[in-house]
Structure formats: structure tokens, C-alpha cells
Chains A and B, each alone.
Chain A
Amino acid sequence: MVALDADSLPFALEGERKLRRGLTRARIRWVIVVLVLMFIAVAGRLIQLGMVVQDTSIEGRARDLITATRPAILDRNGLELAVDIRVPSLFAEPRNIIDPEEAAKGIHSVLPDLNVDWLRDRLSGDKGFVWIKRELTPAIEDKIMQLGIPGLDFLTESKRFYPGGHEASHILGAVNIDNQGIAGIEKAMDNDDVALLQQIGLARGNELAPVNLSIDLRVQHVMHDVLTDALSRYQAVAAAGAMMDIKTGEILGLVSLPDFDPNDPVTALQKDSFNRMTAGIYELGSTMKSVTIAGALDSGRVKITDTFDARFGVRFGRFTITDFHGKNRILTLPEVYKYSSNVGAIHIMQQWGKDDFRAFLHKMQFDVPEPLQLPERRNPVVPKTFSDIVAATAAFGHGLSVSPIAMLRAMAAFANDGVMVLPTLYKTSPEDAAKTYVQVVSPATSREMRYLMRLNALQGSGTRMNKFAAGYRAGGKTGTAEKVVKGRYDSGHVLSLFASVFPLDQPRYAMMILVDDPHTEPGQGGHTAGWNAGEATGRIVAQVAPMLGISPDFNPLLDDELVPPQLR
């Protein structure tokens, strides 16, 4: 255009203006295009950044789960049974490690128990996260930090610490390295709610409220101490015991030896150290006579003034059942209990009725697993229906295997005006406990049972116990059950039991002590229950009663008042 109209200026001027305008428009268009492209690039980058998924997991598990905490476990008075401590754990990011060789040597210099080759292997490659060693001390953390190796870092983990060590091991159980309960109350809490809290990420820091158990650490300590002593004193295979508040059902102490150290969870899984109180079922021997007699008295068909012929054994076909401490005469009911007469117990049961006896065992919850919160439990073995001979042996505690906790519960009910309470390992108020009350025998029967228990301590097989626990009005029933060795009952190997209640004028605590395969203590009288389980019970009562606010009282009137009016 310019070339065409070179001689006509106005045209040319106009053309030039047009030309410039066109040029400007083109430039603006380009600028817009460039700007739009830039914004598209920015938007694209933003979308890309938004799409990136941050890998916060640690070897396939959420980081939060690793650092999750557990609630502290306290005893009933607020003493710590289990606490969380925060400890550093060493991890590496191999993709950020420049020289695995140097890093491996550096770590080895601080942690000599780690193999250098293993370390080099672990630190090479392009993984994002590998554990090197977990649960270290702050001192080691400082040393590693001073090495200044890039790609190494620490994560604060919660580690469970049990300050009491062995003492309450079977109650507490243990946790694994990821802080999950593997046994005891720790596992029970996981089954309830702690695991859920950790899963949804609520269990951080010290936010979880501590859990109060029903355990009294002083009682637990005394019980552990006395039973440890019993284990060596009577050269026994095992010893176990539990003590319960008969009003609230709170377990104040529960020990089973041999036990384990919860700080070293591997030992928890040893076969021999299972919880004998809850996961063991036993033929409870003569302690069952308390149940037989209480049920018979409560039925009204047997009276405390009745007498029973114990002159001859009871024959069942080829078998004849006789007495261990044979008196071979006619015994009154209190004497049957006092001398622990098998024959007498069978006659009492027969006068009462075997079907009622079986029904009473169900009422006392002997044929269902014990209801404590611990996951370690076993089904009792009680025949569905009783034949004549099974009922006869069951009357003195053979032919049926039940948990010692069931017997503890029954003794508590017999002493507590016939009211049976649900045992628990958590601190409970009397009001909450009252909701679980079940009347199993009448208060009148309960009064007679208290008399019988005290009588046995004053004159019967509980005298060894009473010698140690003098003044604390304790009483109870021994049981010496022969163990089955190679398919036969062997009188050389017995299970000794002592089921007791104290103080009997105002019953408050029930206790069950079990000594497995005891031997005669040198210079002492025998290996029956009174000599071992009985003595251990006495020692425990003498030590814990003052702690529990029970003062000794030697007033003979207290014992006289327990005697039922018919027998005065």
C-alpha cells in the first residue's frame, strides 16, 4: 500500500496510521495469548501440586499410629502401674543418604550391636523410610545427631513402662513394640476402645484420661511377696492368689507365679507363666464343700443341726469313697466341714438332691467362664447332668474343673449375706456394684456359713492360717486336691487351696490362694493345704488387714456371736 500511494501524502498518512493500529492490535493479541498461556501454566502447576500425595506412612503404617499413646494405668490409690514414656526412635531416609558406607560406620560406632553389613544394606537404595533401631535413649539420640549424617532422623515414640516390673504382670499384661496390647488388661482395653481411639487419631500426647484399676498396689505387693516366699518354702511348681472386696467385687490383688516382666513382652508368652487364676481350671477339692453345704442348708432339706454317718465309706459299684482324715463316727454338719469329711459331704448332697446340686452350681456360675475383664480365660468343665457318682465326687470337689475366681466369688457371696457380686478389675463405686447383685442364698444361710468358716479356722484345717492371722477373725476352707498324674490320682502330687473371708464379724474381703504341687516344709507337719495355702493366707491377712483399716480384736465374744442360736 505504501509503495502504491507513495506520491499522495494524505493517503499515505492514513495508511500509516492504519498500519500502526493494526500492528498494535496484533501486539496486544500476542501479549494476551502469552499471558493466557502463562496463567494456564500456573494453573496447571497448581493442579499438579494439588494432586501430589504426601507419603506419611511408615513401612505401610500411618505415622500417627506409631506415635499413638495409651492411657496410664493407676491402682485404686493413684499409684502408677503402667505409664507411657516418650523415647526417640532412629529412622533413615535411604534416598537422601549420600554415602551409605560412611553412614553405616557412623551408626555402628554409636550402636555397636548393629551389624555393619546389615546397616549398609538397609541404608542403600531409594526407599523413603526405614527403621534403624527403635526405642533408644536421649543420650544415644544426641550422639547420633552429633555425627551429622544427612538422611538420619528421630521420631518420638511412646513406649510402655511398667514401674512395678513383675509385680502386677498378669493383671496388666503387655504391649508389643507398636503399643498394642497383647495380654492382660492392656489387651482388654484395646478390645474395648483404645485401639479405636488410636485408629481415628485421638490418642495423641497426654490427652487420654488415666484408668483406675481396682488393684491396691500394697495388697498386690504383699501377695506377690508371700507367694514368692511360698514357692520356695514349699518347693511348689506354682502359686497363685486373688483377693476381692465382697461388697463391690473389686479385685484388690491378683498374683500368679511364675510370672513375667511386662517390660520384656517376650517373656509373657512362655507357656509356664500363664495366669492360673483366670486361665487355669482346677478340681478345687474340699473347698467345694463350702458350696455343697451352703446350697444344702439354703434348700432347707439339710439343717445345721443334722448328723451324718461317716463310719463307712460310700460304695459306688467297684469304688469306695472314704475320708482322708477319717473319724469313722457319726458327725454333725459343722464337724463334716471342720474335719473335711468326703463321706459326710456326699450324704449332705444326697439328702439335698443331685439335680438341685447341679442347678445350684449353675446359679453360682461355676459352669460359665469367669467374668473378669482379662482376655485370658478358659471354659470350666462341669458335666451337664450329674450321675450318682459324678454328683458324689463333685460334692467334695472332684470330677469338675472350674476357675479359682468362681470359688472366690462363691465364698464372697456366702459371707456377704448371700449376695453375689460381679468381680471387676476396674475401680467401682458401691452403687454401680449394687446393680450386679444377685441373691444366691438367704442371709440366714450366710450367717451359718460365716460360723462354719470361722469354726474351721478355730478348730479345723484352718488353724495354721489362724495362727498367723490371729485377731483378724479370718476363716475359710482348705482344699487338697490330688492331681491326675498319668491318668490316675496321685496322693504324692496335690493342688492345695485355701478359700477364706475376713473379718468374719463384718465380712469385707475374700481371698483364694492356690499352691500347686507343694512339698512338706522341713520341720513342719505335712503337705496338705492347711500347711501351705493356709499359712500363706494367714501371712497375707496379717500384713494387709492393717493396711485396709482392719484392726485386730481378740475379744472372744466376736466368735461367740457367730454361733447360730440352734447350736449355743
Chain B
Amino acid sequence: MIRTLNIILVITAICALVGVYALKFSVGDTAEQKAALERQIDRQEADLSLLKADWAFLNQPANVAPVIQRHVAELNLQTLSQDQFGNFAILPMRLKAPDTSALNSLFQSLDQGVDPITQIIRESN
């Protein structure tokens, strides 16, 4: 009776021992993984902060302006002057009905190979 009990207890103890050790090692493993992940997060956060700083730097007017200055000639860039602004008030009102005679004369001139718009552009230049 007592012997059986002892055997059961011994087996339980051995099982518990094995279990606890296994648990200990797995916890150690997990802790290591956690530390590694934390290191990785730390590293990535640091990288991210650098990238964000980079992005902020590239977006600064102080950084964009010289880039524009360099390309003024190639892209034919010009500063917007005050008289280039328009507003809705200066647009002519829409016609009540299509101006058929004007359209006819436009088509006629196009048929003859004369584009009035091109002429206007040429004259303004």
C-alpha cells in the first residue's frame, strides 16, 4: 500500500521535474524571442525616425526651393504675377442659344485651312 503510494509519488515528482524544466527552458526561449523582437522594434523605430526626419527634410520649402531654382530654365518656370489671376466675374455669360452664324463662319474658315485660335495665339506672341 505504502509502497504503491511511494512509487506513484516518485513518478509524479519525476514528471513534475521534467515538466518544470521544460517550462523553464521554454520560458527562457520565449524571453529570448521577446528580447530579439524588442531589439528589432527598437531598431526599426530608430530607422523609422530617421526616415521620417528624411521625409520632413525633403519636404521643407528650404529644400524644395533650390530644386526649383535649378530647373527654372529647363522647365521655363516663371513666378506668377498679380495680373495673371482671374476670377469668375470676368468670364463672359453663357449664350442663351448657340450662335449659328458664328459657328458656320468658323467651320467655313476651318475648311479653308485657317484656324482663328492659332491666329490669336500668333498675334499675342
Contacts and interface: CB of A to CB of B under 8 A. Distances in A.
B53 A85 contact: yes
A425 to B, nearest CB: 19
B124 interface: no
Nearest to B58: A163
A377 interface: no
A546 B50 contact: no
Contact of B82 (A163, A221, A225, A542): A542
B61 interface: yes
B49 interface: yes
A85 B85 contact: no
Given A165-B62, A218-B61, 10 more contacts: A83-B49, A84-B49, A86-B42, A164-B60, A164-B62, A166-B62, A167-B60, A167-B62, A471-B82, A551-B85
Contact count band on A: 20 to 34
A156 B82 CA distance: 52
B60 A86 contact: no
A552 B85 contact: yes
Contacts of A79: 56, 59-60
Interface in B55-98: 56-57, 59-63, 65, 80, 82-83, 85, 87
Contacts of B57: 163
A156 B46 contact: yes
Contacts of B80: 546
Contacts of B61: 164, 167, 217-218, 220-221
A182 interface: no
Contact of B53 (A83, A221, A472): A83
B60 A217 contact: yes
A372 interface: no
A466 B104 CA distance: 48
Contact of B56 (A80, A87, A138, A205): A80
B34 interface: no
27 contacts: A79-B56, A79-B60, A80-B53, A80-B59, A83-B53, A83-B56, A84-B49, A85-B49, A85-B53, A86-B46, A88-B46, A138-B47, A138-B50, A156-B46, A163-B59, A165-B60, A167-B60, A167-B61, A205-B45, A206-B45, A221-B61, A470-B82, A471-B82, A472-B82, A546-B80, A551-B85, A554-B82
Interface string A471-493: 11000000000000000000000
Nearest to B54: A163
A165 B47 CA distance: 21
Given A471-B82, A542-B82, A83 B60 contact: no
B87 A551 contact: yes
A373 B10 CA distance: 76
Given A167-B60, A552-B82, A87 B65 contact: no
Interface in A153-187: 156, 161, 163-167
Interface residues of B, number: 21
A261 to B, nearest CB: 11
A220 B62 CA distance: 10
B24 interface: no
Nearest to A206: B45
Contacts of B52: 80, 83
Given A79-B56, A542-B82, A221 B65 contact: yes
A221 B46 CA distance: 29
Nearest to A472: B82
Contacts of B63: 163
Contacts of A88: 46
Nearest to A81: B56
Contacts of A205: 45
A472 B83 CA distance: 11
A163 B60 contact: yes
Contacts of A85: 46, 49-50, 53
B39 to A, nearest CB: 10
Interface in A67-83: 79-80, 83
A206 B52 CA distance: 13
Contacts of A87: 46
Contacts of A220: 61
B1 to A, nearest CB: 24
B36 to A, nearest CB: 15
Contacts of A138: 46-47, 50
Contacts of A471: 82-83, 85
B85 A163 contact: no
B49 to A, nearest CB: 5
A483 to B, nearest CB: 32
Contacts of B65: 221, 225
